[in-house]
Amino acid sequence: MKPLQKKNEKGDFFVGKYYILFDKKYKEEIGELVKKGFSKDEAEKKAPIFLEAKDLLMKWESGDKEVLGIWKLMNGWVYEGFDKTYDDLGVNFDSYYYESDTYLIGKDIIDHGLKNNIFFRKKDNSVWIDLSEDGLDEKLLLRSDGTSVYMTQDLGTAYKRYKNNPEMKGLIYTVGNEQDYHFKVLFKILKKLGFDWAENLFHLSYGMVDLPSGKMKSREGTVVDADELISEMTSSASKLSNELGKLEGMTSNDKIALNRTIGLGALKYHILKVDPKKRILFDPNDSIDFNGNTGPFIQYTYARIQSLITKSNFKKTEFSNEVEINDKEKQLLKFITLYPETIKTSADNLNPALIANYTYELVKNFNSYYQSNSILKVESKLVRTFRLSLSYKIGLIIKSSMQLLGIDVPNKM
pLDDT tens for each residue of 335-383 = 999 999 999 999 999 999 999 999 999 999 999 999 999 999 988 888 9
Give the tens place of pLDDT for each residue, 266-300: 999 998 999 988 888 777 777 888 888 999 999 99
Q: What is the pTM of this model?
A: 0.81
- Of 297, 178, 290, the closest CA to residue 239 belongs to 290
Distance in angstroms between the alpha carbons of the first and the last residue of the chain: 54
> Which residue type occupies 408?
D
Amino acid at 163: K
pLDDT at position 219: 47
What per-residue confidence (pLDDT) applies to 20? 87
Q: What is the pLDDT of residue 102?
A: 93
To the nearest 10 degrees (0 to 180), the angle between helices 327-337 and 381-404 is: 30
Sequence length of the chain is 413
Structural class in CATH, domain 226-404: mainly alpha
Distance of alpha carbon 350 from alpha carbon 344, whole angstroms? 10
- CATH 1.10.730.10: which residues of the chain? 226-404
C-alpha dist (Å) from residue 261 to 84, 410, 413: 17, 7, 10
State the pLDDT at residue 161. Answer: 94
Q: What is the pLDDT of residue 209?
A: 76
For the chain, residues with pLDDT lower than 50 are 216, 219
Three-state SS across the chain? CCCCCCCCCCHHHHHHHHHHHHHHHHHHHHHHHHHCCCCHHHHHHHCHHHHHHHHHHHHHHCCCHHHHHHHHHHHHHHHHHHHHHHHHHCCCCCCCCCHHHHHHHHHHHHHHHHHCCCCEECCCCCEEEECHHHCCCEEEEECCCCCECHHHHHHHHHHHHHHHCCCCCCEEEEEEHHHHHHHHHHHHHHHHCCCHHHHHEEEEEECCEEECCEECECCCCECCCHHHHHHHHHHHHHHHHHHHCCCCCCCHHHHHHHHHHHHHHHHHHHHHCCCCCCCEECCHHHHCCCCCCCHHHHHHHHHHHHHHHHHHCCCCCCCCCCCCCCHHHHHHHHHHHCHHHHHHHHHHCCCCHHHHHHHHHHHHHHHHHHHHCCCCCCCCHHHHHHHHHHHHHHHHHHHHHHHHCCCCCCCCC
The pLDDT of residue 3 is 52
